[in-house]
Chain A
Amino acid sequence: MFRFIVGRLLGAVVVLFFVSVVTFLIFQIAPLLSHTSPVYFYTGKVPFAAGSPALKALIHQYGFDLPVPVQYWQYVSGIFTGRTISDGTTVIHCTFPCLGYSFRQNELVSSLLTEAAPVSISLCVGAAVLWLVGGVLVGTVSALRPGSIVDRAGMGLSLGAVSLPIFFTGPLLLLVFEYQLGWINENYVPITQDPLGWLGSMILPWFALAFLFAALYARLTRSNMLETLGEDYMRTARAKGLDRRTVIVKHGLRAALTPIVTIFGIDFGTLIGSTVITETVFNLRGLGYLSITAISQQDLPIILGVTLVAAVALVVANVLVDITYAFIDPRVAL
């Protein structure tokens, strides 16, 4: 078990290495291809005339005049050891984890991320709980009576839900529950400040996001469960004299949900950095919102930071899936 986990973690490190190389190439090298000075993308302005010694010094400070491998090393080691960053007038010293400084927002990327990440995590965790519970429930009930009215209604509903984009369901929820009924306060409150306020501010985005995924998971659970119900070991469970609930919940769901763990881990990991639409609709300042703002302002340090964080989230989710799988499926060799 220990060796398995260590192996998976080492694998994750290798993946992160490649991710960092690719992001580095895109964000450090690609600006060189444009005819704008690369300094522009990092400082938001070109403070000195082209060819002036001051600009050259700035270029040197960012390392754009160095060989590519050395640039990569500076960039990676800078994350851990810290760097000094300036736009020619202001000098910022950032320490670990140094993901750069946004001169447009006048803030360290790391502190922008630590502000935005809890919002995204709140959104994703809450939505995940809702879609897992809802999806598995609807899927299981549908599978138990295939072709029945309950099944048709459940599957029809999920087809509808998959087809409706969040920028339709989101404003609809807002319209009904916030503007018409006035039940819900939109502004995000951190859970540490006011748990109830947090719940109130998150419940609509949770439902909007979960609706989409619940539909997918309901269909997945249904097909897995139908397959499981036809397995010989389900007949064996009945032949032992177990009651229907034990047969379905203990023997059936145990087998039917195992493949869903994989898909869930990947979905969740991907979602952390990419809930742009939900965040925009509900005015949440999460990672998605942060990155979409940065992209529109060509604020490279932030884009770079969000990309790295999203990649780490996905890799961590995958490692967790692998480890969980080893616990729930004894056939996975450790």
Chain B
Amino acid sequence: MTDTQAPPVRTPESNDEALLRVEDLRVHFPTGDGLVKSVDGLSFSLRRGEILGIVGESGSGKSVTSQAILGLHKGSKARVSGSIWFEGTDLVAASEHEMRAFRGDQMAMIFQDPLSAMHPFFKIGDQIAEAYLVHNKVSKRDARQRTIEMLQKVGIPNAAGRYDDYPHQLSGGMRQRAMIAMALICRPKLLIADEPTTALDVTVQAQILELIKDLRDELDSAVILITHDLGVVAETCDQVVVMYGGQAVEQGSVAELFAQPEMPYTWGLLASMPRMDRVRSTRLMPIPGSPPSLINVPNGCVFNPRCRFSDRVPGRKCFTEHPELSPTTGSASPLAVHEVRCHIPAEERQQILLTEIRPTL
């Protein structure tokens, strides 16, 4: 039973410093068709100044996780269990009233599509200032001043003039910058960016990611970056959680995970990623099949219907027994924690990676 599973082993100092510790988080939505297990037993932790990437396909539970951290499921039909420790407070147990004090102030979120995430009828400046005014007893004038400073900081030219613009008058990149200004105006300790660059074109993507990194450095915030793009993770993040079917299937430091990926799903993600730094020898390899139903989760390993390697495991273990998330043996450094959820024996995994996967990447 994963319910009774102890939290993942961390090094002592990281455990103490953790700003955010998610333990066995489950978010289930009762629907007419059955219980949708959007997130089912997720654990990770994050220190200040760190950027954690959460990677996965659509419907893997990334966004639901981030909304659970902000407590946005409260008041809905969602059933949230487990715990989310944020500086000594369990956010899962916290009331809506308590959460409100955290939201926007201690933790803030950048949403995927800034056009739909900003109110079409309010000036962007007022929308940003509103976030500041909720948590700070200041005059509207001071809030306006602060907003203009923030707009300048995120690189919006003529910030004072842009204050009175409406969202539809800004370009996509400028809108996302305004969204970032809104999220960071109260200097949050935790910033969650939910696919912040998906709606933007590639040149702007790089600028926005750079901006998030710079602001992280300045505020010493922890950042959760939700993406489906491993390239973004490799460039930006320190830690990474690969999610599949509402569960973490592999997690660890970015250096570790990219040097020694061990889960067939991660291999699939890597193989389907375009690489500009190498001569392309073969076609990109898509992962066959589609993400699992979150109502009828496959027995055994969630990834088994799409896994090419389930026949390498003795018996039909992949189809009958749910694999636990367990530390890998091949970690380069004893401090780096690298965990994987896979039945394939460790030596065989490394063998497959070396002989079958590596040459195709």
Find chain B residues with CB under 8 A from A233 CB.
Answer: 116-120
CB contact list, B39-76 vs A, under 8 A: 67, 70, 72, 75
Known: A241-B103, A331-B166. A235 touches B120 (CB 8 A): no
Find chain A residues with CB under 8 A from B117 CB.
Answer: 232-233, 235-236
The answer, yes or no, to whether B109 is at the interface (CB within 8 Å) is yes
Tally of A-B Cβ pairs under 8 angstroms: 71
The answer, yes or no, to whether A3 is at the interface (CB within 8 Å) is no
CB of B137, distance to nearest CB on chain A (Å): 14
The answer, yes or no, to whether A242 is at the interface (CB within 8 Å) is yes
Find chain A residues with CB under 8 A from B120 CB.
Answer: 233, 255, 329-331
CB of A330, distance to nearest CB on chain B (Å): 4
CB of A179, distance to nearest CB on chain B (Å): 49
Of B72, B121, B131, B134, which one neighbours A329 at CB under 8 angstroms?
B121
Find chain A residues with CB under 8 A from B130 CB.
Answer: 240, 242
Q: A251 to B166, alpha carbons, bound, how many Å?
A: 15
Known: A255-B120, A258-B121. A241 touches B111 (CB 8 A): no
CB of B170, distance to nearest CB on chain A (Å): 12
A238 touches B121 (CB 8 A): no
The answer, yes or no, to whether B261 is at the interface (CB within 8 Å) is no
CB of A20, distance to nearest CB on chain B (Å): 38
Known: A241-B103, A255-B120, A328-B121. A235 touches B134 (CB 8 A): no
Q: A238 to B166, alpha carbons, bound, how many Å?
A: 20
A241 touches B119 (CB 8 A): no
The answer, yes or no, to whether B264 is at the interface (CB within 8 Å) is no
Q: A254 to B127, alpha carbons, bound, how many Å?
A: 14
B135 touches A241 (CB 8 A): yes
Known: A233-B116, A330-B121. A241 touches B101 (CB 8 A): yes
A232 touches B105 (CB 8 A): no
Closest to B115 in A: A232
Kindly supply a per-residue 1/0 record for chain A positions 222-256, scoring 1 wherever the CB is within 8 Å of any chain B CB and 0 otherwise.
00000000011101111111111000000100110
B166 touches A330 (CB 8 A): yes
CB of B192, distance to nearest CB on chain A (Å): 9
Find chain B residues with CB under 8 A from A240 CB.
Answer: 103-104, 108, 130-131, 134, 182
CB contact list, B248-287 vs A, under 8 A: none
A239 touches B118 (CB 8 A): no
Q: A233 to B111, alpha carbons, bound, how many Å?
A: 9
Q: Which of B96, B101, B121, B135 has the most CB of A within 10 A?
A: B121
Q: A251 to B127, alpha carbons, bound, how many Å?
A: 10
Find chain B residues with CB under 8 A from A251 CB.
Answer: 119
Known: A241-B105, A243-B100. A236 touches B111 (CB 8 A): yes
B121 touches A255 (CB 8 A): yes
Q: A255 to B119, alpha carbons, bound, how many Å?
A: 8
The answer, yes or no, to whether B113 is at the interface (CB within 8 Å) is yes
CB contact list, B100-151 vs A, under 8 A: 100-105, 108-109, 111, 113, 116-122, 130-131, 134-135
Find chain A residues with CB under 8 A from B119 CB.
Answer: 233, 236-237, 251, 254-255
The answer, yes or no, to whether B168 is at the interface (CB within 8 Å) is yes
Find chain A residues with CB under 8 A from B108 CB.
Answer: 239-240
B166 touches A241 (CB 8 A): no
Closest to B168 in A: A331
A232 touches B100 (CB 8 A): no
CB of B46, distance to nearest CB on chain A (Å): 18
Q: A244 to B75, alpha carbons, bound, how many Å?
A: 10
Closest to B107 in A: A239
Q: A237 to B134, alpha carbons, bound, how many Å?
A: 11
Find chain A residues with CB under 8 A from B122 CB.
Answer: 254
CB of B95, distance to nearest CB on chain A (Å): 12
Q: A238 to B119, alpha carbons, bound, how many Å?
A: 12
Q: A238 to B116, alpha carbons, bound, how many Å?
A: 14
Q: A178 to B221, alpha carbons, bound, how many Å?
A: 70
CB of A212, distance to nearest CB on chain B (Å): 30
CB of B53, distance to nearest CB on chain A (Å): 20
Find chain B residues with CB under 8 A from A237 CB.
Answer: 119
Q: A235 to B120, alpha carbons, bound, how many Å?
A: 14
Q: A254 to B122, alpha carbons, bound, how many Å?
A: 10
Known: A241-B131, A241-B135. A254 touches B103 (CB 8 A): no
CB of A150, distance to nearest CB on chain B (Å): 16
CB of B251, distance to nearest CB on chain A (Å): 25
A238 touches B72 (CB 8 A): yes
Q: A253 to B68, alpha carbons, bound, how many Å?
A: 26
Kindly supply a per-residue 1/0 record for chain A positions 144-181, scoring 1 wherever the CB is within 8 Å of any chain B CB and 0 otherwise.
00000000000000000000000000000000000000
Q: A243 to B133, alpha carbons, bound, how many Å?
A: 12
Kindly supply a per-residue 1/0 record for chain B positions 336-352, scoring 1 wherever the CB is within 8 Å of any chain A CB and 0 otherwise.
00000000000000000
CB of B220, distance to nearest CB on chain A (Å): 21
Find chain A residues with CB under 8 A from B131 CB.
Answer: 240-241
CB contact list, B161-205 vs A, under 8 A: 166, 168, 182
Find chain B residues with CB under 8 A from A236 CB.
Answer: 109, 111, 117-119, 182
A241 touches B182 (CB 8 A): no
Q: A258 to B182, alpha carbons, bound, how many Å?
A: 25
CB of B168, distance to nearest CB on chain A (Å): 5
Known: A240-B103, A241-B104, A331-B120. A232 touches B134 (CB 8 A): no
Find chain B residues with CB under 8 A from A330 CB.
Answer: 120-121, 166, 168
CB of A198, distance to nearest CB on chain B (Å): 37
CB of A100, distance to nearest CB on chain B (Å): 47
Q: A258 to B121, alpha carbons, bound, how many Å?
A: 10
Find chain A residues with CB under 8 A from B70 CB.
Answer: 239
Find chain A residues with CB under 8 A from B102 CB.
Answer: 241
Find chain A residues with CB under 8 A from B113 CB.
Answer: 232
Find chain B residues with CB under 8 A from A328 CB.
Answer: 121
Q: List 6 A-B contacts (CB under 8 A).
A: A232-B111, A232-B117, A239-B70, A255-B121, A328-B121, A331-B166
A-B pairs with lowest CB-CB distance, top 3: A241-B104, A241-B103, A240-B104
For the A-B complex with A239-B72, A242-B100 known, give 18 more contacts whose Cβ atoms are closer than 8 Å: A232-B113, A232-B117, A233-B116, A235-B117, A236-B111, A236-B118, A239-B104, A239-B109, A240-B130, A241-B101, A241-B104, A241-B135, A242-B130, A242-B134, A255-B121, A258-B121, A328-B121, A331-B168
